[in-house]
Amino acid sequence: VVVLIVCASTSFVAMLAYTPLLSKIPKPIAENELEIKDLSAYDPDQMSAVEYARLPLKLRFVVNDKRKEAGLKTIQHGWGEYDEQRPFLSELHTNSASNFTFLKGLLTEFLTDKKKLIEAKDRFTRLQSKYDEGKGDFGTKEDLDKERAVMGIWLAKYFDDAGYGSWPQFPELYKAMIMNAFPPIDTLDSHATHLDELTLKEFEARQLSFLSVMDQHLALDHSSSNRHVWDSQLRH
């Protein structure tokens, strides 16, 4: 009984915390709102990875949903090449607020509805299982390892280009900064927890933690000092 009371109380607190955000949850996307093109226009051989990444996140969600409905593979380009993306970093940074807000709205929607929370956990668990079976966006474990390497190169090139060339000399400081930007929302034990190992309560807590991290990034993005730094460096 005590456990049920605690779980119910925590869910109620989560509801109170995020109910004010319900009015800000993006409405279902109408095709005329985001100008959905013929699905073939988004194919990798028609639209480059850089062009696709510049689309609003919610449009990419719609495109992939429609591709799944049509029996087509979803589009995931991964981290890509830093040098190709560098001319558009200002745009990426500017668009991040609306992309964060959209994703935050999706999470808030199921965190304030027990039925949708259960459905989300089931959906995410099935998606994770596809990855385990080598059927995810990056296929096999070897493919995912390659993507990890691509991510590492992207970050190193960004550090070099952004004036943080001392990362090889002071790795512990850069590791600390990365960990501050991405505090763990799972136990650090060299084991990626499978979602079917989590109770519904634990799954909810993890999503709330992720929302908290996004809130911190949104607050930083909106800060005048941070915006000034980006504007001064990216106007060139």
Q: pLDDT per residue over 14-46, tens digit each?
A: 444 443 443 333 334 444 446 676 888 899 899
Domain endpoint, select from 13, 48, 77? 77
Task: List the beta bridge partners of residue 139.
Answer: 136
- Per-residue pLDDT tens digits for 154-186: 999 999 999 999 999 999 999 999 999 999 999
- Per-residue pLDDT tens digits for 115-128: 999 999 998 888 88
Between residues 144 and 161, the one the model is more confident about: 161
Between residues 107 and 16, the one the model is more confident about: 107
- Per-residue pLDDT tens digits for 62-104: 998 888 888 888 888 889 999 999 999 988 888 888 888 898 8
Cα gap 41→47, rounded to integer Å: 7
Confidence (pLDDT) at 141: 77
Using CB atoms within 10 Å of the CB of residue 66, give its burial: 0 to 12 exposed, 13 to 18 middle, 19+ buried.
Answer: middle
**149 and 190 housed in the same domain:** yes
**21 and 114 housed in the same domain:** yes
Confidence (pLDDT) at 94: 84
Global pTM reads 0.74
**87 and 68 housed in the same domain:** no
Cα gap 231→227, rounded to integer Å: 6
**95 and 40 housed in the same domain:** no
Our CA angle for 66, 69, 73, nearest 5°, is 80
**143 and 198 housed in the same domain:** yes
80: left (phi over 0), alpha (psi -120 to 50) or beta: left
Overall number of domains in the chain: 2
Cα gap 170→73, rounded to integer Å: 42
**103 and 137 housed in the same domain:** yes
Confidence (pLDDT) at 222: 67
Average pLDDT, the chain: 80
Q: From the centroid of its chain, how far is CA 143?
A: 20
**126 and 112 housed in the same domain:** yes
**143 and 44 housed in the same domain:** no
Confidence (pLDDT) at 10: 41
Show the domain range for 20: 2-27+83-234
- 25-33 long-range CB contacts below 8 Å, 24 or more apart? 25/105, 25/106, 25/108, 25/109, 26/58, 26/101, 26/102, 26/105, 26/106, 29/58, 29/59, 29/61, 29/62, 31/62
**114 and 157 housed in the same domain:** yes
**8 and 49 housed in the same domain:** no
List, in order, residues 6 or more apart from 147 with CB less than 8 Å away.
Answer: 78, 79, 138
- Residue located via tokens 């280009």: 161
**10 and 107 housed in the same domain:** yes
Between residues 235 and 187, the one the model is more confident about: 187
**217 and 179 housed in the same domain:** yes
Between residues 6 and 53, the one the model is more confident about: 53
- Give the three-state DSSP class for 56: coil
Q: From the centroid of its chain, how far is CA 36?
A: 22
Domain endpoint, select from 77, 106, 136? 77
Cα gap 155→107, rounded to integer Å: 27
Q: Of the segments 57-61, 162-166, 224-228, which one has the largest average pLDDT value?
A: 162-166
Cα gap 135→151, rounded to integer Å: 21
Residue 223 has pLDDT above 70, yes or no: no
* Main-chain dihedrals φ then ψ at residue 131, nearest 5 degrees: -65, -45
Residue 132 has pLDDT above 80, yes or no: no
